[in-house]
Amino acid sequence: MGKRLTWTLFLSGLIIFAAGCTTLRYNMVFPEAKNFHPARIGVFAVDVGSYADAQGKVDEAIIAALSKEKKITRVVSLGSLSGKELEKNIEFYREKLAKLNYSDPKLSREIADLAQVDALIAVTLDHWDYLKEGDSKIAKVGLGIKMVDPRTGQLVWEARHFVTEKYLFVKPDLSGVAKKLMKKMAAYMPK
């Protein structure tokens, strides 16, 4: 009886540990996402912070990963669109979102109408590094994502996560690591 209980507890702990490893570090789906199923997504240029060498590369990785999602029919890089009104709206909207954590409903609606999208995504790059942890060499990429329903300006999903890849001699391409990360994160976004 004692041996059986020990194995049961061990297997239960292993299952709980494995389940914990498959989720995101932070994942919040807001109640407003209940009836929100975007098919066309507009992605703001990624805020790379101090990782200037990631500019453009991480944007391409995110768009490539989202484009492969089955329920998403169109992914638009908002930074690639032109028009003075659109550029001005994007600049003001991103500034309010970053500095005040406020999603302006009027600006989000205008941006979505001009870009013809159902959702807006703002991404921040948290990690873009090759590091050494103990004896292991790792590539680390981390993202923070906010998804907004532009009809209401409401935040519907927010997530943060990072992935690491160990290597011995050849450094993995950080863009490839970013694609894997975005694919994992996209599985949790409202669709």
| 96 CB neighbour count, 10 Å cutoff | 15
**Residue 172, pLDDT score:** 97
Q: Is the pLDDT of residue 82 over 70?
A: yes
Q: Is the pLDDT of residue 79 over 50?
A: yes
Q: Is the pLDDT of residue 49 over 50?
A: yes
Q: What is the pLDDT of residues 3-40, one digit of tens each?
A: 776 666 555 554 544 444 568 999 999 998 989 999 99
Q: Is the pLDDT of residue 122 over 70?
A: yes
Q: What is the pLDDT of residues 101-112, one digit of tens each?
A: 999 999 999 999
**Residue 19, pLDDT score:** 44
Say what the alpha-carbon torsion angle 25, 30, 33, 34 is, to the nearest 10 degrees: 110
Element (H, E) at 14: helix 2-21
- Going along the chain from its start, the domains and CATH numbers come out as 26-186 (3.40.50.10610)
The arithmetic mean of pLDDT across residues 60-75, rounded, is 94
**Residue 161, pLDDT score:** 98
Q: How far apart are CA 154 and CA 100, in angstroms?
A: 14
Copy the structure tokens of residue 98: 């970053």
Work out the mean pLDDT of the chain and round it to a whole number: 90
- Residue % of the chain over a pLDDT of 70: 90
| 158 CB neighbour count, 10 Å cutoff | 16
The arithmetic mean of pLDDT across residues 135-163, rounded, is 97
**Residue 117, pLDDT score:** 97
